Structure 1
Amino acid sequence: MAKKLRVGILFGGRSGEHEVSLLSAASILKAIDRRKFDVVPIGITKTGRWLTAGGAQALLTGNHSESADLVLQAEAETTASPADAVTALVPDAASLGSGRLDVVFPVLHGTFGEDGTIQGLFELADIAYVGSGVLGSAAGMDKDAMKRLFAQARLPIVKHVTVLRTAWEASPRKTVAAIEAALKYPIFVKPANLGSSVGISKVHDRKELGPALTLAACFDRKIVIEQGVGGAKKKARELEVAVLGNDDPKASVVGEIVPGKEFYDYEAKYLSDGSVPIIPAKITAAESKQIRAMAVEAFRACDLAGLARVDFLMEPDGKRRIYLNEVNTLPGFTSISMYPKLWQATGLGYSDLISRLIELAFERHKERSRTSFSFNVAKG
């Protein structure tokens, strides 16, 4: 019998999407093919402490005590020698059991998990991992940098401006004037680096703009303000495509989300059942072909790998123009999340999708291993 691959499922983390990560990880742990994989749950608390075995399971089920974790962390900081400090970063070998992990499946949504930081740690450790690398993850997280890459690839995006938190705090009137000169209400105000619609506001007039900018500034130093699609009276159609692959990515069927609220915010995504997914979306064959091609182009423009959900906005009537909104390099991964549901509708089931992502992680790691990092090796 072939040896099972040892897969670390990494979840939790310090971001505002901690709870979403727990939901995704629980679904993956339930569905992953145990005949192929020996699974090691690894949790990261909101304070940044790494947990395995019973500690990871307690975090997953909501039984882990953050207050106790803070006490342990304080004690460690006062008693540990500098050589011991590294253990705060990664789980110790004993807690992982015998043997090294073959691959890590990070299910860390948002900051410190989706932005290239944890990917850099995996690269340093020379371990295969699911998803995009450092550059792709960082570009896919930063909405300002992402839009610059989309523009360079000549992909259609909505009109937008970016302001710095320091500029907003130093000159609020000047900032508001610059935004109003460039865009028309309604507009969307977003932190540049965050996911799951955290910190996003739809702004209808000047009275709402200041509070929206202040809210977004809580979550990032850069704030992206976008022109609303559809105008004041009609909402844009929100379309989504799942992309899978490395150098030769494929796109799923196109799906549509009909939000139960004015737009698809955090509450509409995770806390209410008013939003309705429509798979496949009710669009023409030509529109579907165009959107799927654009999804692959966006994936390549940001140098992504493994997986991504690519989101679009379509004008509700008239010319039905389509705009690329953003990519999400580690989308929600519960069995009812849009990414796996889109692949289910395309013919790839949830458990098989997990297996395929792990295969792609090894494929990308093997390709990277061909790269020389020493001049003498390359020359020789």
Structure 2
Amino acid sequence: MKTNVYVLCGGKSVEHRVSLISASAIINSLDKKKYHVYPIYISDEGIWSNLGIVEDEIKEISELMYQSSNTVISSIETFLRSSFNEREQNIVFPALHGTNGEDGTIQGLLEILDIPYVGNGVMSSAIGIDKVVTKDLFAKHNIPQGKYTRLLQHQWKKDKLFSIERIEETIGYPAYVKPASLGSSVGINRCANREELEAAIHEAFSFEDKLVIEEEIIGREMQISVVGNEFPKASVVGEFIQERQFMDYAAKYTDGKLIQVIPAKLTEKVSELMREVAIKSFDVLNCSGLVRVDYFVTDDERFYVNEVNTMPGFTKLSMTPALWEKTDQTTYPELIEKLINLAFERYNKRKSFLYKRK
């Protein structure tokens, strides 16, 4: 009997389009002889639509989009009633990035419904998406990272001058302003002076009410993928060579102006230390399935964890699949298969626990 794989894509998130690109690649890589593959499109209003079983290759992301007249509640009810048969084996692959997909909310829903799913659980997802909470946790575990501070919207509204002066005293210029819980470089700006800082804060608060402000670290941007459950493994280190000062949304997903160098040019000692820190980060966040750990590496090979991504992109430009291909020749379809197997492993372990007293 084939396993039903429900690939969630789109979502009520600024990373809606990125999710569709990831989902199309995942859907195309799944073995249709082994799986029944169902794309589940979630509109940017949060309305769910089951697009039916896929047999052919997805060539355009528009094929994954559907305009529904349902409400959010009725659309989810329709999906649940029509999609799952207890006599069949089902699994959800949340190819969702950012809000309502990578933040623990969809994971919580699937936990309540007792449906296995790919990737990290509720706590790991919720912590991992919040850059401030992640950095606070990493600081307690001595994971190397740059200087940072947080800024809440109500603090900003109460006293803008005090907020700016505090940032200037603790971080200085240049500084990077980021929404705390968004990915794909959305809402991020580099600030060289007070005027730019104020404008960047104003823009970032249009996305959410908590920001992280970080010092600038001059260095190369590198990434490591960690895959596994109880015994995770780290990939080799990969590097992006870029034309821009930092990797914005267009550079990552639109204009292709990034060059992957795998493995990155590092001494063996530093490379191994970075892999150890990546696994430690995975363990600290209690991750399962996968995570991508992003670094800054200076010219003298000091390294700092920049952030983690608990559901990294799986587009044709994404680093995660490329890292594993260079690490142990794992192909894209094999990596997807491994993540599905890890998801069932985690689900079966959780099912073995007692939920009531004898």
Once residues 90 and 83 of structure 2 are traced to their aligned partners in structure 1, the CA distance between those partners, rounded to angstroms, is: 16
Q: 2:324 aligns with which of 343, 355, 362?
A: 343
**Deviation by residue 1:219-248 (Cα, 9 ceiling, x = unmatched):** 121110001112xxxxx2101001100111
Once residues 131 and 146 of structure 2 are traced to their aligned partners in structure 1, the CA distance between those partners, rounded to angstroms, is: 12
Q: CA deviation at 1:96?
A: 6.5
TM-score (norm 1): 0.88
Q: CA deviation at 1:369?
A: 1.1
Secondary structure at the aligned position of 1:354 is classed as helix
**Deviation by residue 1:57-103 (Cα, 9 ceiling, x = unmatched):** 8994258465xx4xx24xx69xxxxxxx5544561533678965611
Alignment of 1:274-285 (within 5 A): 274-285=257-268
Which letter maps to 1:93? R
Q: 1:264 aligns with which of 229, 233, 247?
A: 247
Once residues 105 and 334 of structure 1 are traced to their aligned partners in structure 2, the CA distance between those partners, rounded to angstroms, is: 15
The alignment covers a number of residue pairs equal to: 354
Once residues 63 and 322 of structure 1 are traced to their aligned partners in structure 2, the CA distance between those partners, rounded to angstroms, is: 39
Alignment of 1:157-168 (within 5 A): 157-168=145-156
Q: 2:271 aligns with which of 288, 291, 298?
A: 288
**Deviation by residue 1:298-349 (Cα, 9 ceiling, x = unmatched):** 111111110111100112x2x3311011110111102431010101111211
Which letter maps to 2:47? R
Q: 2:138 aligns with which of 142, 150, 158?
A: 150
Map of 1:82 onto structure 2: none
Map of 1:8 onto structure 2: 6
Q: 2:341 aligns with which of 342, 359, 377?
A: 359
Map of 1:18 onto structure 2: 16
Which letter maps to 1:373? Y
Alignment of 1:40-59 (within 5 A): 40-53=38-51
Once residues 344 and 91 of structure 2 are traced to their aligned partners in structure 1, the CA distance between those partners, rounded to angstroms, is: 8
Q: Is the 8 A contact 2:240 2:260 kept in 1?
A: yes
Q: Is the 8 A contact 1:43 1:60 kept in 2?
A: no
Which letter maps to 2:292? R
Q: Is the 8 A contact 2:99 2:181 kept in 1?
A: yes
Map of 1:307 onto structure 2: 290
Note closer, same or farther for the CA distance 1:272–1:95 as it changes in structure 2 (3 Å cut).
Answer: same
Note closer, same or farther for the CA distance 1:65–1:24 as it changes in structure 2 (3 Å cut).
Answer: closer
Q: 1:372 aligns with which of 336, 340, 354?
A: 354
Q: Which moved more, 1:198-207 or 1:132-141?
A: 198-207
Q: Is the 8 A contact 2:220 2:297 kept in 1?
A: yes
Which letter maps to 2:2? K
Q: Is the 8 A contact 1:10 1:108 kept in 2?
A: yes
* 1:324 and 2:305 correspond: yes
Gaps of 5+ in 2: none
Q: CA deviation at 1:371?
A: 2.0
Q: Is the 8 A contact 1:163 1:222 kept in 2?
A: yes
Note closer, same or farther for the CA distance 1:38–1:291 as it changes in structure 2 (3 Å cut).
Answer: same
Q: 1:246 aligns with which of 217, 226, 229?
A: 229
Q: Is the 8 A contact 2:49 2:75 kept in 1?
A: no
Gaps of 5+ in 1: 78-84, 231-235
Q: Is the 8 A contact 1:52 1:96 kept in 2?
A: no
Q: Is the 8 A contact 1:12 1:108 kept in 2?
A: yes
Q: Is the 8 A contact 1:335 1:350 kept in 2?
A: no
Once residues 112 and 78 of structure 2 are traced to their aligned partners in structure 1, the CA distance between those partners, rounded to angstroms, is: 13
**Deviation by residue 1:223-280 (Cα, 9 ceiling, x = unmatched):** 10001112xxxxx210100110011110011000122211011121112122211111
Once residues 254 and 156 of structure 2 are traced to their aligned partners in structure 1, the CA distance between those partners, rounded to angstroms, is: 31
Map of 1:175 onto structure 2: 163
Once residues 119 and 7 of structure 2 are traced to their aligned partners in structure 1, the CA distance between those partners, rounded to angstroms, is: 13
Note closer, same or farther for the CA distance 1:64–1:322 as it changes in structure 2 (3 Å cut).
Answer: closer
Once residues 118 and 308 of structure 2 are traced to their aligned partners in structure 1, the CA distance between those partners, rounded to angstroms, is: 16
Note closer, same or farther for the CA distance 1:117–1:59 as it changes in structure 2 (3 Å cut).
Answer: farther
Note closer, same or farther for the CA distance 1:276–1:59 as it changes in structure 2 (3 Å cut).
Answer: closer
TM-score (norm 2): 0.93
Q: Is the 8 A contact 1:199 1:216 kept in 2?
A: yes
Once residues 268 and 164 of structure 1 are traced to their aligned partners in structure 2, the CA distance between those partners, rounded to angstroms, is: 29
Root-mean-square deviation (Å): 2.2
Once residues 215 and 167 of structure 1 are traced to their aligned partners in structure 2, the CA distance between those partners, rounded to angstroms, is: 16
Map of 1:129 onto structure 2: 117
Q: Is the 8 A contact 2:47 2:75 kept in 1?
A: no
Percent identity over the alignment is 42
Which letter maps to 1:325? N
